[in-house]
Amino acid sequence: MVPVATNPADTSTLESLSGITPALRAALARLGLTSLADLWFHLPLRYEDKTRITTIGDLRVGDTAQVEGRIEAIEKGFRFRPQLRIAIADDSASTLLLRFFHFNSAQVGQLFVGARVRCFGEVRRGQHCLEMVHPQYKRLTDAVPHDVEERLTPIYPTTEGLGQKRLGGVIGRALDHLPQDESLELLPLPLRSENHLASLREALLYVHRPPPDADLAQLGLGLHPAQQRLAFEELLAQHLSLKRLRSRLRAHMAPVLEGDGALRRAFLAALPFAPTRAQTRVADEVARDLGMSAPMLRLVQGDVGSGKTLVAVMAALVAIEAGRQVALMAPTELLAEQHFANFHKWISPLGIDVVWLAGKLKGRARDVALAKLQGSAQIAIGTHALMQEGVEFDRLGLVIIDEQHRFGVNQRLALRDKGRSGAGVPHQLVLTATPIPRTLAMTAYADLDVSIIDELPPGRTPVATVVLNGTRRSEVVERIRAACAEGRQAYWVCTVIEESEVLEAQAAEVTHAELTTALPGMRIGLVHGRMKPPEKQATMEAFKRGEISLLVATTVIEVGVDVPNASLMVIENAERLGLAQLHQLRGRVGRGSAKSSCVLLYQAPLSATARARLDVLRETGDGFRIAEKDLELRGPGEVLGTRQTGEMHFRVADLARDAHLLPAVHKAGELLLREHPVLAERLMARWIGHAARFAGA
């Protein structure tokens, strides 16, 4: 969470609260809580209903409930692992079993037959009766009345050394300092009225202190009007921040890139195929942007195999014809190598010098590449190495970023700054083969214009997808034998649970050995992330030439690999991968005229989410529909890859759930920027802070 910093109501320090010890202050600081407003906007993750006692006889499997009863029996067992089992009963004459796997002698000592206890937890079906595993509990004494809670209990994000009770108490004391007047509000009254929004004070108090009759299901889904009021404000702050970023970027000058089109015409004349209408349309949109003095900020998205690389080449030719250099950055060496091979094949015949730069390029070869960037090189293609210190361009005019979601805004700006000259910056073209739902594109990429390549090249064949239990692995091996006997080629992709190149490499090596034994005489290759680049590249080239029939690989082949003769894709343990990744892998086949298939092997039992993912892949090949489902199943953070980039972490908003708010949010954003710019700045500071993503923008 980013610390809040806005008007005086938001910046009051913790000094005004009682009981803030140095240790507590340090624990709060680990959560980013350094002011009263930080505490006001530290919102609950969920709620527990301890406002009532449910009789044991009325419990149902799946309920989360609070019960009271007397202990009827206690049993300690160590047969498989330590276990404490306590049977309680109430006046309903029903029994509930409390089961503990982690306990100590002090706990056991305070619990005895006849003692009365109050428990809160999830009800499960046990072997003989209903049970709760590790419920919250406390022993009751008959001499003291024990009232239930007056309101729902909020459960907050916390940290080590800071329990829920203590954090809740601090937040409660902070809420007692909530201003009574409009000093808390940053949304003008007409805007709130138009969108039927409660006051911020009302919304915060309700979310932190929901009454006993609050709709727990509605709160759990984030759909209560109080939560929607906060979601609206948070989405508005996010939208404004990206609009501000766009405005700052647009304030720079960029080189006007124009020429007579001779390079583009020569390139198209040499192609063995004609671009699709969609490719031509998007390439023209890019060329128009490049011809302006304001920096181009364009996202080109398209489904797997739609031909984004061709659009990138045509954009590069415009820049080169205008006497400028181009830098293309890809997230993996394999994808960068693929781009280098394509660019070299397509435009080297035009007399264009293409330079390769990656982290593993060392010594003399690296020195030569760096020298060329300050002289003859017209295009540099590589990985993150392009952003490293010591990499200097002579006349960088266009930056192309492939798979933007793997990098993030800051890294895009870092590469752009390699071409900064005074107030001038290069144009930026961002590519993604992961179709982005319109909801996300409107929000996460509000700083970019968006072009969509919505047409596949002719000759691309639909890929038939089947989902099979891993127990039928031998049938799949026979299917590969038959396909390769007919002269076709196949992929076998290995995945592991842990994200580790070492473990993935081991899994691929084991599978390669097993398939070599099962398919004697077949030429089987192996590619994984631990291999040296030349070895990996040699294997891929052999596969492209048809010298290898079956390629065993990790997910390093997810994007960029183009082998038209490969018509069968097997993905092992498919339940471990996300929808976007599965769709990308499937896109490696169906690139030629042969009928193509994808086999998704899974290990039972499947979770409901995993089954939903595999069903979507089986039902459709539409990348945008798959992206929408991915957003629904996983949420925006994972769809955008933000666990890596650190962006788009919402405290209350949910892009999938709150998409209906976006049109009003965008309208409100225009109003604030036009009529209330100071309020807009305060709103961004409150929810986002002065994030590093704007540095140097």
Single out the residue in 420, 453, 486 at which a domain terminates.
453
Give the mean pLDDT of 178-201: 91
Contacts of 44 (CB under 8 A, 6+ apart): 154, 155, 156, 207, 208
Please state, rounded to an integer, the average pLDDT across all residues of the chain: 83
Amino acid symbol at 78: F
Q: How far apart are CA 506 and CA 234, in angstroms?
A: 44
In a domain, 447, yes or no: yes
Give the mean pLDDT of 353-358: 88
Joined tokens for residue 33: 């809580």
Same domain (yes/no): 291, 426: yes
Mean pLDDT highest for which of 27-41, 195-209, 453-467? 195-209
pLDDT number for residue 647:
44
> Of 489, 174, 112, 453, which Cα lies nearest the Cα of 314?
453
117 has which bridge partners? 69, 139
pLDDT above 80 (res 224):
yes
Give the mean pLDDT of 352-363: 84
569 has which bridge partners? 491, 598
Same domain (yes/no): 567, 600: yes
363 vs 277 pLDDT, higher one: 277
Instruction: Encode pLDDT of 45-99 as tens digits.
Output: 889 888 889 999 999 998 899 999 999 999 887 766 788 899 999 988 889 999 8
pLDDT number for residue 235:
92
Same domain (yes/no): 346, 482: no
CA atoms within 13 A on the CB side of 8: 4
Same domain (yes/no): 349, 428: yes
146 vs 279 pLDDT, higher one: 279
* C-alpha pair distances (Å), 586 with each of 132, 443, 546, 618: 43, 28, 19, 11
Give the mean pLDDT of 156-160: 88
Q: What DSSP string describes 579-608?
A: HHHHHHHHTTSS-SSS-EEEEEEE-SSPPH
pLDDT number for residue 8:
52
The sign of the torsion formed by the CA atoms of 687, 689, 693, 696 equals: positive
Same domain (yes/no): 552, 448: no
pLDDT number for residue 384:
80
CATH number of the domain at 397, please. 3.40.50.300
pLDDT number for residue 642:
38
pLDDT number for residue 501:
55
Mapping DSSP onto H, E and C, the string for 384-449 reads: HHHHCCCCCCCCEEEEEEECHHHCCHHHHHHHHHHHCECCECCEEEEEECCCCCHHHHHHHCCCCE
In a domain, 14, yes or no: no
Contacts of 55 (CB under 8 A, 6+ apart): 67, 90, 91, 92, 94
Amino acid symbol at 139: R
In a domain, 285, yes or no: yes
pTM of the model: 0.64
Q: How far apart are CA 426 and CA 382, in angstroms?
A: 17
Single out the residue in 595, 620, 645 at which a domain terminates.
620
In a domain, 131, yes or no: yes
In a domain, 595, yes or no: yes
Q: What angle do CA 535, 539, 544 make, to 5 degrees?
A: 145
Element holding 301 (H helix, E strand): strand 297-302
pLDDT number for residue 6:
46
Same domain (yes/no): 339, 365: yes
User: Are 381 and 331 a contacting pair, CB within 8 Å?
Assistant: no
pLDDT number for residue 640:
45
Sorting pLDDT into bands at 50, 70 and 90, what band is 693?
A: very low
pLDDT number for residue 167:
93
pLDDT above 80 (res 520):
yes
pLDDT number for residue 352:
93
pLDDT number for residue 442:
63
- Residue tagged 């299917």 (tokens): 479
Which region among 90-104, 174-188, 499-513, 533-547 has the lowest average model confidence (pLDDT)?
499-513
pLDDT above 70 (res 648):
no
pLDDT above 80 (res 598):
yes
- Structural domain boundaries, residue 449: 262-453
Q: Omega into 605 within 30° of 0, i.e. cis? A: yes
pLDDT number for residue 696:
37
pLDDT above 70 (res 102):
yes
Q: How far apart are CA 535 and CA 341, in angstroms?
A: 16
Question: How many domains does one find in the chain?
Answer: 3
In a domain, 229, yes or no: no
Same domain (yes/no): 434, 298: yes
pLDDT number for residue 691:
46
Instruction: Encode pLDDT of 555-569 as tens digits.
Output: 776 555 678 889 999
Single out the residue in 599, 620, 641 at which a domain terminates.
620
Joined tokens for residue 23: 């240790």
Give the mean pLDDT of 114-120: 92
pLDDT number for residue 197:
94
Give the mean pLDDT of 259-276: 90
pLDDT number for residue 395:
87
pLDDT above 50 (res 497):
no
Instruction: Encode pLDDT of 657-668 as tens digits.
Output: 888 898 899 899
Same domain (yes/no): 477, 502: yes
Same domain (yes/no): 387, 480: no
pLDDT number for residue 370:
84
Say how many C-beta atoms besides its own lie within 10 A of residue 255's C-beta.
22
694 vs 484 pLDDT, higher one: 484
In a domain, 16, yes or no: no
CATH number of the domain at 112, please. 2.40.50.140
Give the mean pLDDT of 499-528: 81
pLDDT number for residue 19:
86
pLDDT number for residue 39:
92
CA atoms within 13 A on the CB side of 330: 22
pLDDT number for residue 638:
46
pLDDT above 50 (res 154):
yes
Contacts of 257 (CB under 8 A, 6+ apart): 290, 291, 318, 319, 321, 322, 324, 397, 398, 427
Report percent pLDDT > 90 for the chain.
37
The burial of 521, by beta-carbon neighbours within 10 Å (0-12 exposed, 13-18 middle, 19 or more buried), is given as exposed
pLDDT above 90 (res 117):
yes
Strands 297-302 and 449-453: parallel
- DSSP helix/strand/coil, 1: coil
Same domain (yes/no): 277, 404: yes
pLDDT above 90 (res 280):
yes
Same domain (yes/no): 400, 307: yes
| DSSP letter, residue 548 | -
Q: How far apart are CA 597 and CA 32, in angstroms?
A: 50
pLDDT number for residue 503:
58
In a domain, 369, yes or no: yes
pLDDT above 70 (res 136):
yes
Same domain (yes/no): 369, 496: no
